[in-house]
Structure 1
Amino acid sequence: VRFALVQEAIFSQEFHKPTHMLLLNYFAEAEGVVRPNEEILEWAWVKAEEGLSFPLNTFTRKLLERYLEEV
């Protein structure tokens, strides 16, 4: 696990509820099965570069772009 970046979301329209959040992002590897809950309906394991073609919210896109800068 290593630190990636901090992002601030102030009442972003991209989230379901109007909240002010500090997003503390880390890079990590995991093994196992994805377990869906109320926060995730769909997922896909893809190469990082392919992830940019998905309809990501701006905060997830920025995190992925940061990852791609470092690899």
Structure 2
Amino acid sequence: MNERITNVMDALKKRKIACSYYGNRKEAAVRLLEMIPENSVIGIGGSVTVQELNIQNALQEKGCQVYWHW
């Protein structure tokens, strides 16, 4: 992780905003899906990253109800 990423994460944490860094897309997707319990209700605010990673379908497969504008 480079210094710029570390600085951004430190600034977010100082403002009590939780953040994580993952080295690749697959690792990020796996961790995100682990954090969301089955049968949750999820709202997604137009994230291209979520769309590209196909997170919405993975959440629906976990029984989650997914709301988003796309």
Query: TM (normalized to structure 2)?
Result: 0.22
**Structure with a larger share of its residues in helix:** 2
Query: TM (normalized to structure 1)?
Result: 0.22
Bigger Rg, structure 1 or 2: 2
**Structure with a larger share of its residues in strand:** 1
